[in-house]
Chains A and B, each alone.
Chain A
Amino acid sequence: MTSAALSLEQAPPLSVPLRFFLTAPLFGMAAAAMLLLAGPDVLLSRWSPATLALTHLFVLGVLTMVMCGALFQMLPVLVGAHVRRPRLWGGICHGLLAGGTAALAAAFLTTAPLAFRCALMLLGGGLALFVVVLGGGLLRAPRVHDSVRGMRWAAGGLAVTVGLGLALTLGHAWASLPILRVPLTDLHLSWGLLGWVALLITVVSWQVIPMFQMTPEYPRWLRRWMPAAIFALLAWFSLSAAVTWPGSSLPLAGLAAACAGYAVWTLVLLAQRRRTIGDVNLWFWRLGMAALIAAALFALAGRFGLPPAASRLALAPALLFLAGFALSVVNGMLYKIVPFLVWLHLQQRIGEHPAARGQVAPPNMRAVIREPRARAQWWLHAAGLTLLLAGLAAPVLLRPAAVVWFASFALLGYNLFTAARLYRSEAARIAACG
């Protein structure tokens, strides 16, 4: 087989993913600042305005921001699927997502219908555009393998999440509209966390764990069936929300088992890695998988009323999933993806300037972001997570947690900024060679 399908003209410039990556820590710092200002009052319940604002700053501004940016670049790198006009669509998606996230947070805090309408237009437009661009890229993938199939399921999960979120926002923007807020919110949350965040992370992990941690591959049956199984369980769970029947706990139990099983399998693979030297990416993955197992156990216990739904501890599964699992993994992946992209794009620059060959060598991935600073950020991340979870039982710890989270996101942003700065200086050296 001779491959001629790929060309550099189709590959997005580094600025496309980087603008998403560099924006994410800013939203993380904004979420931490909100937690600091609101203090123990936040996280009183999932319905408090500050909790909703904080959650969406984090899920949209940090997690979805990074995941969108990564997909613009990683689709061609990992699955050979190209996104058309990445600079244009990437720029528009980024602007709408950032503006819409800020508008939605403001809307939750002020409850102003106008702010909800702004958020509806910006976020609805940005995320719908992203689903179309992502779906188009996946449909044009030169070969349909497990990762492409899995990403298609994740794109479907995102589409359902966005649809439910827009319906809920419509209810805020026009109060006269009859919206079944509680069941729709439960479905929006479930599809967002599992159908989008968890699905995409698992699909990407099939590629990046063996590639960057030198582990054996995930088994074929898991790669083939897990996305469809999660999607089917979510659909079953959605139907259970509408119709109560004796087996309505089964889909939740199935989803918890799938997540915990995936996490255990990942930990086993990481234990078999051929790299003898550990790195901060490994630490983030291990922490993330431990948190995912804990979140699954807490979610199952919650089904049986432990802890009671009115208790602040009822938020533990969501916090473990978002801050413990999703953020750990996304944060850890940034420390691999960004250095790899810097190296790759510098190689492309050298290809454009043949005189630079032999004169300038792109830095090794390990030299792009200094490991001690990345490890320092992991410690801040782990401390922030510990304080946040402890804050559910002792709310006085929530403000210290906010300070540590702020520092963690600030250091993450600085680490990513140093990678971007290194890229610019090396690219200038290459260009100077003629």
Chain B
Amino acid sequence: MNAPPRETTLDVRGLEPCEPLDRILQALDRLGSAARLRALVSREPLPLYPLLRQRGFAWQVVRNEPGCCELLIWRAGDAVAAAADGT
């Protein structure tokens, strides 16, 4: 049985633009294999998605409600990070 992916949580709620996206991208630069980033942002970060796709990341929105959008982000093709239950 595979080991669960390593997960880092980054809460950027309450930061003014463009700090939340900046910090998420910086954290992703350090993301290794079999690992994923759980990011908490104030609202769904639509402008982030093209940047993630361009940098070779996959993502999943696991919660989206007023004041909090929760995303899981991992390297595209990383089977260990992608297979885990997002919630």
Contact = CB atoms under 8 A, between A and B. Distances in A.
Contacts of A8: 50, 53-54
Given A217-B66, A347-B25, A357-B29, A2 B60 contact: yes
Contacts of B55: 351
Given A1-B60, A3-B49, A7-B53, A214 B29 contact: no
B12 interface: no
A212 B29 CA distance: 26
Interface in A213-259: 214, 217
Interface residues of B, number: 25
28 contacts: A1-B61, A2-B59, A3-B49, A6-B46, A6-B49, A6-B53, A7-B50, A7-B53, A8-B54, A76-B46, A77-B46, A77-B47, A79-B46, A210-B42, A214-B42, A217-B66, A336-B17, A340-B17, A340-B18, A344-B18, A344-B47, A347-B21, A348-B50, A348-B51, A348-B54, A351-B51, A365-B17, A365-B18
Interface string A1-16: 1111011100100000
A84 to B, nearest CB: 16
Interface in B40-81: 42-43, 46-47, 49-51, 53-55, 58-61, 64, 66-67
Secondary structure at the B interface, as helix, strand, loop or mixed, is mixed
Nearest to A365: B18
A160 B49 CA distance: 35
Contacts of A393: none
Contacts of B14: 214, 274
B49 to A, nearest CB: 5
Taking residues whose C-beta sits less than 8 angstroms from the other chain, chain A's interface range is: 20 to 34
B16 interface: yes
Given A217-B66, A347-B51, A358-B29, A212 B16 contact: yes
A74 to B, nearest CB: 10
Contacts of B18: 340, 343-344, 364-365
Interface string B27-48: 0010000000000001100110
A41 interface: no
Interface string A48-83: 000000000000000000000000000011111000
A186 interface: no
A373 interface: no
A7 B29 CA distance: 20
A77 B59 CA distance: 17
A211 B14 CA distance: 10
A275 interface: yes
B59 A210 contact: no
B14 to A, nearest CB: 6
A397 B54 CA distance: 55
A76 B53 CA distance: 15
Contacts of B46: 6, 76-80
A12 B51 CA distance: 14
Interface string A78-96: 1110000000000000000
A2 B58 contact: yes
Nearest to B53: A7
A351 B29 contact: no
Contact of A210 (B43, B50, B58): B43
Closest 6 CB pairs between A and B?
A: A351-B54, A6-B49, A8-B50, A343-B18, A77-B47, A1-B61
A343 B20 CA distance: 13
Contacts of A2: 58-61
A109 to B, nearest CB: 43
B37 to A, nearest CB: 15
Specify which of B16, B22, B53, B60 lies most central, judged by the most chain A CB atoms within 10 Å of its CB: B16
A348 B22 CA distance: 12
B85 to A, nearest CB: 14
Contacts of A364: 18, 22
Contact of A6 (B17, B50, B64): B50
Contacts of A365: 17-18
A352 B51 CA distance: 10
A275 to B, nearest CB: 6
Contacts of A352: 54
Given A8-B54, A212-B16, 12 more contacts: A2-B58, A6-B46, A8-B50, A8-B53, A274-B14, A336-B17, A340-B18, A343-B22, A344-B18, A351-B51, A362-B22, A364-B22
